[in-house]
Structure 1
Amino acid sequence: MRKLSSLLLATLLACVAGHAAAQGVLRIGLVEDPDTLDPTLNRLATGRQPMTALCDKLFDVKADDLSLVPQLATGYEVAKDGKSVTIRLRPGVKFQDGETFDANALAYNVKRHMTLPGSLRRTELSMVDHVDVVDPSSVRFVLNAPQANLLLYSLAERAGMMVAPDAAQKLGDRFGSQPVCAGEYRFVERVPQGRIVVEKFAGYWDAAHTAGDPDRIEYLPIGDSTVRLSSLRSGQIQIAERLTPTDLPQLANDPRVKVVSAPDLGYHYIRYNSGNGPRAAIFHDVRVRHAVDLAIDRRVLVKALFNDQYQPGNQFVGPTSRYYDPAHPVPARDVAASRQLLQQAGVAHLTFTLLVPPERERQEAAQMVQAMLAEAGITMKIETQDDAVMLQNARRGNFDAIFNFWSGRPHPDGNVYAQYSCNGPTNDSKFCDPAIDKLMVAAREATTDDERQRLYREVNGMLAQAYPSSVLWHRRTFTGVSAKLTGFVPHPDSTIRVKGLHLQP
């Protein structure tokens, strides 16, 4: 069935490729079907791809040094005590339904992020007490703690994406299927498991600098990497996201394609259910989690599967980050110690199920981990689920362990707080250590880089002893790009910026 679906998709792409190129249509191959296109509720990294075209943010970050760049905002001022931030807004901005973007619209968006049921942005804006409308073009964020640096970087992510208030109120829980924002492109249609289509918005605030950008973009979920690569090489798509190192040799001598890369801010990890519902019994004991971790050889994984293009990892930042805790380096595999820990925990034979999405990288890694654990007397079953389904089951506690991927954030808080704080919105295992929470809050309020480094290293060290998850590697982001496409800049957050892309006929 999967082969048939791939064949049908390839045939469809071939039929429309010539027409698409003639009409200035950019086609982007995604590794999976995105979840909701509501910035408040979106969770999957693939969802950020179309949302980046649809929804401008208050700020963005530079690809090279991750410094802030104004987008819908023009600047900001931080109070001396660090407990308020005044942001100046860009004049003349319209949402795609014609509504004006102003201070009241921003205040509405912040309230929506903080109060909408199921919001994944609430934790990112937890430092905000309220927003004051100073005048139509400026607002003041009043903070309940001096966390101005964290706030600004949160506003350069999904929390800074602005949606049209009228449309959001009218559509309610259907907004994610018909998003209205203030980006360069407006939403046209979505065919589930088929495509997401956006087209140039004539009233875009920066239209003068985007005249040469594609008129239309089609985002296509192509989970089969073979089909995705062949579609890129034949010109049926012009961008293929998240290539793996094993894809690279196929493209090395193809003049029709170029591969660009950037170091990634995120990490791949196995999360253990240690406290979410009845299925948490398997991994409630830290010795059991530690035993599984010890049976995995991260270096062998990275060498065998990724040709050493990725970095073995064990923390929420990579070994090259200033926040990495050198006191707890990537551990060596120790099967004997793994067996001993299980004995101490009174587990005669450990058996559990790992939920894995159909993505090739994690599928192959899961099979290798399965073999490694078997050598330690651990039986790991693999159950494949679509990413959105897997994360839904994780939220409900309907899992033993999941093989997850976090796309990474410029501020280290974005890599740890939501995942491991007691009430974090993506803390699916319900892992909770008040001492770690206290350190993370202190790190949020740190006013110097040195203080922030010391605190995050302490957090890293405590997580390295608690094993709420097993971080396995930090990757590079490899993106396949047609030679006919110019202006593409890879970003460490793996999100494709479409502004400035030019497609030759």
Structure 2
Amino acid sequence: MSKKPRTQLAAPAIGDTTRRRPFGARRALVAVSAAVLTTTLLAACGSASSDSGSGGEAGVLNIANAADIPAYDPVVLGPTGATQTLSLVYESLFTLDEQGEIQPALATEYTFNETGTQLTLTLREGLTFQDGTPLDAEAVAYHLERGRTQENSALKPAYHQIKSVQAVDATHVQIDLKQADFGFPLVLANRSALIASKAAAEKDLKALNANEPVGAGPFKVVKVVPGASITLEKWDGYWDADNIHVDKVKVSLGTDPATVLSGLQTGVYNFVPGLAPQNLETAKSSGLKVVADTSANWVASFVNINRQLAPFDNPQVVEAFNAAIDRDALVKTLTFGLGDATANPVPPTNPAFNPAIDEEVGFDPEKAKQLLEESGAKDLSFKIHVFPTMTAPAEQLQQQLEAVGFDVEIVAEDTTSFYPGYYGKTQQAALYGYVGRDNKLLSLDEHFSEAGILNLSASEDPAYTAAREQVLKTPLDDPAYKTRLRAASKAGVETGSTVFLYTTPTVSATSADVSDFPKTDGIFRWNGITVG
């Protein structure tokens, strides 16, 4: 096997500000506005906790989580906020630094063959899980196979490039890919490669998923109160245990967003990963530390349209749809001033962001009217499907579209009603949102590839296919990688069925005695954090 190209990863020093090429993305999550995301959508995922714990304890992190944890097996788990919580228990193969560069975690190195179709990982020696069983190549291969084949796996889209995986020896894992994909190591960073104990999964997979997580992360679970709280303590067997300065973590689940700010102010909590944006200024004036930065956490809001169904099977109608949208007005009304109006699938901090997209797409209602007239479309009526909590943004969008000649009906549905039509690709249009993927091309594929879960048309344009093939065969450290990634982004937006509206940062807040978290896109890293 050829040893080129080869990437040796060195752990960055805490506080290292060396510039590296930016990479960063996260997983899908229903969202339309920052306010909806933090105050309504996530709150609906659980009930108020009765075990919040007391704040102000040195070495204790008290986290207020608006959502419940629907699953504890990282192979099964979906929502981003939940996997961020599970990163307390589980560690990933690689991680990302603040510039988005791949850094070592459980694995220290990856090596590709010349064609980019075979990837070999090197693991740290002597690793174990929290149950004392070995975290070796066999355990990693087992986990990746579960992610690729398990019926209820949420990782299948991320692992779809894997053809086979095997343990070469105790510290080397060989992954054979279906085609060249030099960006695949990004799939193995952060949320897509949180490794669970092989022994625990084999013993009782249901228990692992229900409330008995066993990983190799910095903290070990000591108590789970389903739907209410998780209590964890520092695990000395963690590979970077010397850099973990928090002794205990208490996570309150299903916390009422209306009480979170007062909880921070009074010391009940000292970390809130999802603060309602309308509370941002009050939090700052209270002496709390607030982060609202897309380089750390972000949400992209968009409208999916189905190009297989009228009226969107007419290209001029699609172009008119885009020109009818006043993104600046949506941002002003819906994001409390935090959003960025953009037709890009990602924020400017992401390497897939292409400024040329926004230069081509702009609000022009007169152009929209002319395009509709020239299109010859006789019926411009359609239904846009939304969650009930998102009717306000849908109504504003409805007003903009009807001002140029569309006839829009808003259909508010719960998850049981919404998802069959969305994933079944039978809806004409849907208002939705996501927070990306660790692999930047996969972020685009979810929208623009034929199998993309967010592609309502279930079709792929040849222009996007050609552009993504260029990205796949380009190593991450090649200067052409970013250029080709941006070209794929542009091709997707121009030919795909997703109309992007704006991006917003997800707001987090801590008390003053909690040290700054690294701005790592998509996950919280606990290494180096101090309390008190």
Once residues 54 and 389 of structure 1 are traced to their aligned partners in structure 2, the CA distance between those partners, rounded to angstroms, is 34
Partner residue of 1:430?
458
Of residues 232, 256, 262 in structure 2, which corresponds to 1:199?
232
Aligned residues: 484
Once residues 231 and 323 of structure 2 are traced to their aligned partners in structure 1, the CA distance between those partners, rounded to angstroms, is 47
Q: Deviation at 1:322? A: 5.2
Once residues 270 and 418 of structure 2 are traced to their aligned partners in structure 1, the CA distance between those partners, rounded to angstroms, is 29
1:453-497: CA deviation from partner (whole Å, max 9, x where unpaired):
44334333333333411111122343111123224333232x223
Mapped pair 1:460 → 2:489: yes
Question: 1:266–1:415: 8 Å Cα contact kept in structure 2?
Answer: no
1:86-138: CA deviation from partner (whole Å, max 9, x where unpaired):
32212232223332110101111121122122534334334433334222122
Once residues 267 and 421 of structure 2 are traced to their aligned partners in structure 1, the CA distance between those partners, rounded to angstroms, is 37
Of residues 422, 428, 443 in structure 2, which corresponds to 1:415?
443
Partner residue of 1:346?
377
Query: Per the alignment, in what secondary structure is the counterpart of residue 146 of structure 1?
Result: coil
Mapped pair 1:228 → 2:228: no
Partner residue of 1:293?
322
Partner residue of 2:331?
302
RMSD over aligned CA atoms reads 3.5
Partner residue of 2:503?
474
Mapped pair 1:403 → 2:406: no
Mapped pair 1:48 → 2:83: yes
Partner residue of 1:165?
198
Once residues 464 and 113 of structure 2 are traced to their aligned partners in structure 1, the CA distance between those partners, rounded to angstroms, is 28
Question: 2:303–2:501: 8 Å Cα contact kept in structure 1?
Answer: no
Amino acid in the other structure paired with 2:436: G
Query: Per the alignment, in what secondary structure is the counterpart of residue 441 of structure 2?
Result: helix
Residues 56-455 of structure 1 aligned to structure 2 (within 5 Å): 56-63=91-98, 65-148=99-182, 150-172=183-205, 175-178=208-211, 179-187=213-221, 194-200=227-233, 202=235, 204-206=237-239, 208-209=241-242, 212-222=245-255, 224=257, 226-243=258-275, 245-255=277-287, 257-264=288-295, 266-272=298-304, 274=306, 283-306=312-335, 308-319=337-348, 323-329=352-358, 331-342=361-372, 344=375, 346-356=377-387, 358=389, 364-377=392-405, 378-381=407-410, 383=412, 385=414, 394-397=422-425, 399-409=427-437, 411-427=439-455, 429-447=457-475, 449-455=478-484
Partner residue of 1:39?
74
1:301-346: CA deviation from partner (whole Å, max 9, x where unpaired):
2234445433211122334655444443252223334345555363
1:227-265: CA deviation from partner (whole Å, max 9, x where unpaired):
33233223222222234553322123212x111243347
Question: 1:30–1:220: 8 Å Cα contact kept in structure 2?
Answer: yes
1:370-395: CA deviation from partner (whole Å, max 9, x where unpaired):
33234334334262646x98556632
Q: Deviation at 1:267? A: 4.4
Question: 1:266–1:409: 8 Å Cα contact kept in structure 2?
Answer: no
Query: Per the alignment, in what secondary structure is the counterpart of residue 285 of structure 2?
Result: coil
Amino acid in the other structure paired with 1:30: N
**TM-score, length basis structure 2:** 0.79
Given the superposition, is the C-alpha separation of residues 463 and 81 from structure 1 closer, same or farther in structure 2, using an over 3 Å criterion? closer
Question: 2:425–2:456: 8 Å Cα contact kept in structure 1?
Answer: yes
Given the superposition, is the C-alpha separation of residues 415 and 223 from structure 1 closer, same or farther in structure 2, using an over 3 Å criterion? farther
Question: 1:74–1:89: 8 Å Cα contact kept in structure 2?
Answer: yes
Once residues 11 and 308 of structure 1 are traced to their aligned partners in structure 2, the CA distance between those partners, rounded to angstroms, is 29
Amino acid in the other structure paired with 2:274: R
Structure 1: state its 5+ residue gaps: none
Question: 2:455–2:498: 8 Å Cα contact kept in structure 1?
Answer: no
The answer to which structure, 1 or 2, has the higher relative contact order (CA under 8 A, 6+ apart) is 2
Question: 2:63–2:249: 8 Å Cα contact kept in structure 1?
Answer: no
Amino acid in the other structure paired with 2:266: S
After TM superposition, the structure 1 stretch with the greater mean CA deviation from structure 2, 423-432 or 87-96, is 423-432
After TM superposition, the structure 1 stretch with the greater mean CA deviation from structure 2, 167-176 or 464-473, is 167-176
Structure 2: state its 5+ residue gaps: 1-38
Given the superposition, is the C-alpha separation of residues 393 and 486 from structure 1 closer, same or farther in structure 2, using an over 3 Å criterion? farther
Q: Deviation at 1:33? A: 3.7
Once residues 12 and 77 of structure 1 are traced to their aligned partners in structure 2, the CA distance between those partners, rounded to angstroms, is 46
Once residues 24 and 389 of structure 1 are traced to their aligned partners in structure 2, the CA distance between those partners, rounded to angstroms, is 45
Query: Per the alignment, in what secondary structure is the counterpart of residue 85 of structure 1?
Result: strand
Question: 1:103–1:138: 8 Å Cα contact kept in structure 2?
Answer: yes
Q: Deviation at 1:43? A: 2.6
Amino acid in the other structure paired with 1:162: I
Question: 2:187–2:193: 8 Å Cα contact kept in structure 1?
Answer: yes
After TM superposition, the structure 1 stretch with the greater mean CA deviation from structure 2, 438-447 or 428-437, is 428-437
Once residues 78 and 67 of structure 1 are traced to their aligned partners in structure 2, the CA distance between those partners, rounded to angstroms, is 17
Amino acid in the other structure paired with 1:421: S
**TM-score, length basis structure 1:** 0.82
Question: 1:262–1:491: 8 Å Cα contact kept in structure 2?
Answer: no
Question: 1:298–1:313: 8 Å Cα contact kept in structure 2?
Answer: yes
Higher helix share: 1
